[in-house]
Amino acid sequence: MSDSDSRKSSARILILGAGFAGLAAAIRLGKEGAKAQVTLLSRRNFHLFTPLLYQAATGLVDPDHIAQMVRPAARKHGFTFFEGEVANLDIGSKTVKTDFGDVAYDYLVLAMGSENNDFGIRGVPEHAISLKTLPDAERVHSKIIDSLERSLVTGDQAKRKGLLTFVIIGGGATGVELAGSVRDFVQFLLRDYPGLAEDQLSVVLVELMQNLLPGLSKYLSEQTYRILSKRGIKIRLNSRVAEVTEEGVLLSGGELIQTANIFWTAGTKPSRLVDGLDIEKDRGRVRVDEFLRIIGHPEIFAIGDLASISDSKTGQKVPATAQSAVQEGDWVGRALSRMLSGKKVEPFVYKDKGYMLSLGRQVGVAEFRHFKTSGVFGWLLWRMIHIALITTTRSRLGVIFDWTFAYFYRRNAAHTEP
């Protein structure tokens, strides 16, 4: 990036999406004291801490506690926040169309994340619940409780079996964590449901590939398989879902897994807002250069889940995770600030900080460069690091309280959804 990219000191920077990437960019611009008017625009006025979404879905944390308010950060770091829905991007006239009117920019940061991807499989939108938003988590939670309640009053044995079978489709990070937590949740609830026995409950995890956690390391994949199998979760590898129906999940070989509870965590696709843009893409994701700018549009940056980013040192694709999104947002905030002051900017370099998963009560798995661990220690580490990653005091204290309460007493099992 050269000094010639520098604009006037009151440049208007518009960031779309208050997720991990967008919020990190806005905060960094504030911390750097960038010579710009920074505006962050997002659908809701909170930042959703997705790594704990499956815990909200299984009564372990209060959904409110993973919704981190954006306005305190805006006040602290000196950026403007607007809640609104982006309807369209007009990159020709440097304008973003929203539900409250048009917003003009000099620099644009695309950080609207990704959406659930059902790969066009029949029946998924109607019969499966995805896990991407807070309302999704509440729907999953409600579905589990509703099924347990109905299983006690039905006289139909086949129907009862379906109500007590919980199928998670997708053995990626979200799917394995959800499977472990659903298992804990239903097992824990047994004491309040006289008439139900543990051997009547079944949690099934369906994965298309030949191993769990495709894309992550062999160690994480094998440990996760071992731990979940030991906990009684039925893992179905090499299993392609052909259709999802009212009766259950139909696999491509013709087998029907009968269930009333289908949770979809099998994939994501970039925000639909980039679909119509006439720019370079890589399997739907926005292709960017080593400065995270859209090719042919040096005034537009694309970061987080919607971008296809390669590490400038290794050439390897950067994974679509919260960890990467924060690094990219932080990098763009610093780069823009330096650019506006006429300073040199080095290309983006990704730092892999490792990966960890919580697979149920007192069991987790973690891998950092040369350090690997599983079991109770992995679980404790996961908890400590996630508490540190939560950025607002309200959310952090809320989650600590929820975990402590659930550990010594109980999870939330009230059926509050209609």
The CB-of-24 to ligand FAD minimum distance in angstroms stands at: 8
DSSP code of 277?
-
Find the DSSP H helices in 32-131. 53-57, 71-77, 124-127
Q: Residues 305, 274: contact at Cβ < 8 Å? A: no
| DSSP E strand boundaries for 159-302 | 165-169, 202-206, 234-236, 241-244, 248-251, 256-258, 261-264, 268-270, 281-282, 285-287, 293-294, 297-302
Q: Phi-psi category of 340—alpha, beta or left, where left has phi over 0 and alpha has psi -120 to 50?
A: alpha
The CB-of-247 to ligand FAD minimum distance in angstroms stands at: 26
Burial 17-47, CB ≥16 within 10 A → b, else e: bbbbbbbbbbbbbbebebbbbbbbbbbeebb
The CB-of-73 to ligand FAD minimum distance in angstroms stands at: 13
What three-state secondary structure class fits 9?
A: coil
The CB-of-96 to ligand FAD minimum distance in angstroms stands at: 9
Amino acid, res. 133: T
Among positions 44, 97, 161, 394, the unique one binding ligand FAD when judged by CB under 6 A: 44
Shorter beta-carbon distance to ligand FAD: residue 140 or 164: 140
The CB-of-16 to ligand FAD minimum distance in angstroms stands at: 6
The CB-of-138 to ligand FAD minimum distance in angstroms stands at: 13
Shorter beta-carbon distance to ligand FAD: residue 111 or 233: 111
Tell me if 43 contacts ligand FAD by CB under 6 A.
yes
Among positions 321, 327, 392, 412, the unique one binding ligand FAD when judged by CB under 6 A: 321
Between CA 303 and CA 308, with CA 304 as vertex, the angle to 5 degrees is 70
Q: Residues 223, 365: contact at Cβ < 8 Å? A: yes
Phi then psi for residue 187, to 5 deg, are -65, -45
Shorter beta-carbon distance to ligand FAD: residue 29 or 163: 29
Of 234-293, which residues contact ligand FAD (CB under 6 A)? 271, 273
Shorter beta-carbon distance to ligand FAD: residue 113 or 162: 113
Tell me if 128 contacts ligand FAD by CB under 6 A.
no
**Sign (positive or negative) of CA dihedral 50, 408, 185, 373:** positive
Tell me if 318 contacts ligand FAD by CB under 6 A.
no
Pattern of binders to ligand FAD over 20-39, x per CB under 6 A?
xxx-----------------
Shorter beta-carbon distance to ligand FAD: residue 162 or 170: 170
Among positions 112, 302, 309, 381, the unique one binding ligand FAD when judged by CB under 6 A: 112
Q: Which stretch binds ligand FAD (CB under 6 A): 43-51, 143-151, 240-248, 274-282?
A: 43-51
- The strand pairing partners of 138, in sequence order, are none
The CB-of-115 to ligand FAD minimum distance in angstroms stands at: 8
Residue whose entry in the numeric block shows the structure tokens 């009684």: 232
Residue whose entry in the numeric block shows the structure tokens 């006439």: 278
Tell me if 171 contacts ligand FAD by CB under 6 A.
no
Tokens describing residue 403: 């975990």
Tell me if 86 contacts ligand FAD by CB under 6 A.
yes
Shorter beta-carbon distance to ligand FAD: residue 43 or 150: 43
How far is residue 163's CA from residue 200's CA, in Å, rounded to a whole number?
Answer: 10
Q: Which residue is nearest to ligand FAD (CB)?
A: 19
The site for ligand FAD (CB under 6 A) is made up of: 17-22, 42-44, 50-51, 53-54, 85-86, 111-113, 131-132, 173-174, 271, 273, 304-305, 320-323, 325
